[in-house]
Amino acid sequence: MSTPMVLCEGVHKRFGRLEVLKGIDLEVGRGEVMCLLGPSGSGKSTLLRCINHLEKINSGRLSVDGELVGYREGDGKLHELHEKEVASKRAEIGMVFQSFNLFPHMTALENVILAPTCVKGTRRSDARERGAALLERVGLSDKLEVYPVALSGGQQQRVAIARALAMEPKLMLFDEPTSALDPELVGDVLDAMRQLAREGMTMIVVTHEVGFAREVADTVVFMDAGVVVESGPPAEVLGNPRHERTRSFLDKVL
Amino acid sequence: MSASDQGVRTERPEDIRAVPVRRPGRWIVAIIVLVVAASIVRAVVTNPHFQWSVVGQYLFDSRILTGMVATIELTVIAMVVGILLGVVLAVMRLSPNPIVSGASWLYIWFFRGTPLLVQILFWYNIAALFPVIALGIPFGPAIVHGSANSIVTAFVAALLALSTNEGAYMAEIVRAGIISVPEGQTEAAQSLGLSRIQTLRRIVLPQAMRVVIPPTGNETISMLKNTSLISVTAYAELTYSAQQIYNVSFQVIPLLIVISIWYLALTSVLYVGQYFIERRYGRGFSRAQRATMASRWLALGRGGGGESAA
């Protein structure tokens, strides 16, 4: 069996005295889509940020594609990774944020080609061609030269997805990608994500879209108060939850 | 009236014509302002002590023009050095290394805490403090050295004083700009694999510029006028050039008017420059460029027409 794309073993994360993750065990296989559900403050976003090296874990082991996140193992000790090594690891993981975080001083296309030209050293003309193709894929071929401020929330989020895909990541992290959107704009973003899942991208999606989770996810994980309450195929976790906490959460969001 | 009725209406309804509210207060205030303005103009024009003919005589005097070139030179170089210094100090100030941020804090504290005039005099008299200036290994042998008097000329002293002082102010302005960029921008850049330096250069600083430029325009205008303090070191910038003339001719007032006219002319040029730089870095921050007063005047000159987005 091949190594899983993401493997969490007893992951703890504290902010000062506040313990946000209290021993998370998770496994995400290659090409798998995992949806993280749970009330706000349950640690879902923090877990995503840990996977992308935006936060350092305090204890446990967290690895992506068989390599530890943030550390290197040598002679029985853990060594902190140099900033450059962290950056190159991050480049292999795409992340999409709730608030889009597009670069407002760049057009849609400039947003998409920045990292390939700047980090990978792709030729500008090649990057432009590929960037235009990516934006076309998310349905924005007519918005290449438009600044983010002139795009709707749904369009901005699709640019953000294209921007992450431009680095050809092996793993995509979505942090509540549709939570900041007007209801009628959610569909386009979910469509783009659905398509991505069909193409075999490994994805971890923090979401409140239970319908999307039911349809697209291979595994649904319900988190509460820093622990995984239950996980399994969507039909089980969403259709027939075993835990009271999962049931009451689902009653509220459905 | 039914809904379908509204859908097919084509003729425009008649505009309302109402009797406007009378505003006698506005008229009274306007008249007072005009009377005051007229009396000031009258005093300026008719008072013979202004000696307008002498003003005209010296306005384009070669000594004045040479002084003005020196003033522009000082302003431009000191501002460029000051801005670069400010960026470095601001980045240092935000560094996680406490020694580095502490050093920046100390620099800003000192240069903002002492008068510019005093700093100018210090730099001008630097030879009294360090007769020999040497460049070499710290605590080790010097590689090049020379007498302070020959290296720090009046011009160099002026530049050092103005730019080191400006650096302290610019550091705070740049720091405010950097802080104004939302954290999500840095996170997005880092999640794409950009390094800290790349994030700063490509993402944070360009966005900080929008916040940094208006106060920097202010600083440039201050700098232009602060160069007049350099006159205390007998360096022939605009103000000292005028002093040299009136020390001989005793026509103090007309010459002060001459240089005031030039300072005003130069600051006016800076206004125009600032407008264009602001527009350049405002890209992507509003759907349609906000019509500023300057753009309305420019549009007037081109026969109207609004600015489009992007």
pLDDT tens profile A17-73: 999 999 999 999 999 999 999 998 899 999 999 999 899 999 999 999 999 988 888
* Nearest-by-Cβ selection for B284 from A90, A105, A167: A105
Lowest-confidence region among A60-74, A155-169, B253-267: A60-74
Name the packing angle between helices B62-93 and B205-226 (round to 10°): 140
3-class secondary structure, B60: coil
Q: Nearest 5°: phi and psi at A134?
A: -65, -40
Output the pLDDT for position B305. Answer: 41
Model confidence at B112: pLDDT above 70:
yes
Name A69's Cβ contacts closer than 8 Å, sequence gap at least 6: A50, A51, A53, A57, A62, A63, A89
Cβ distance B177 to A90 under 8 Å?
no
How many other CB atoms are there within 10 angstroms of residue B248's CB atom?
8
Q: How many residues does chain B have?
A: 310
Output the pLDDT for position B307. Answer: 40
Would you call B193 and A149 a contact, using CB atoms and an 8 Å cutoff?
Answer: no
Q: Which residues of A touch B283 (CB under 8 A)?
A: 105, 147
Output the pLDDT for position A43. Answer: 92
Q: What is the DSSP letter of B88?
A: H
Q: Give A166-201 pLDDT, tens digit per residue.
A: 999 999 999 999 998 888 889 989 999 999 999 999
Model confidence at B48: pLDDT above 80:
yes
Token pair for A158:
């699709």
Model confidence at B309: pLDDT above 50:
no
How close does chain B come to A148, measured CA to CA in Å?
7
Q: Which residues of B touch A111 (CB under 8 A)?
A: none
Output the pLDDT for position B3. Answer: 47
Q: Give B9-41 pLDDT, tens digit per residue.
A: 667 888 888 888 888 999 999 999 999 999 999
Confidence of residue B294 (pLDDT cuts 50, 70, 90): low
Average pLDDT, chain B: 87
Model confidence at A13: pLDDT above 70:
yes
Would you call A93 and B283 a contact, using CB atoms and an 8 Å cutoff?
Answer: no
Q: How many whole angstroms separate alpha carbon B274 and alpha carbon B54?
A: 33
How many other CB atoms are there within 10 angstroms of residue B243's CB atom?
19
**Continuous segment of H or E residues that includes residue A222:** strand A219-224
Chosen from B95, B190, B191 to mutate, greatest number of chain A CBs within 10 A: B191
Output the pLDDT for position B297. Answer: 56
Output the pLDDT for position B153. Answer: 86
Model confidence at B287: pLDDT above 50:
yes
Q: What is the mean pLDDT of the segment spanning B46-74?
A: 92
Q: Give A82-118 pLDDT, tens digit per residue.
A: 988 999 999 999 999 999 999 999 999 999 999 999 9
Would you call B195 and A102 a contact, using CB atoms and an 8 Å cutoff?
Answer: no
- CA closest to A107 among chain B residues: B284
Would you call A105 and B207 a contact, using CB atoms and an 8 Å cutoff?
Answer: yes
Cβ distance B73 to B151 under 8 Å?
no
pTM of the model: 0.79
Cβ distance A167 to A115 under 8 Å?
yes
- CA closest to B183 among chain A residues: A101
Average pLDDT, chain A: 93
Name B225's Cβ contacts closer than 8 Å, sequence gap at least 6: B263, B267
* Nearest-by-Cβ selection for A167 from B192, B198, B207: B192
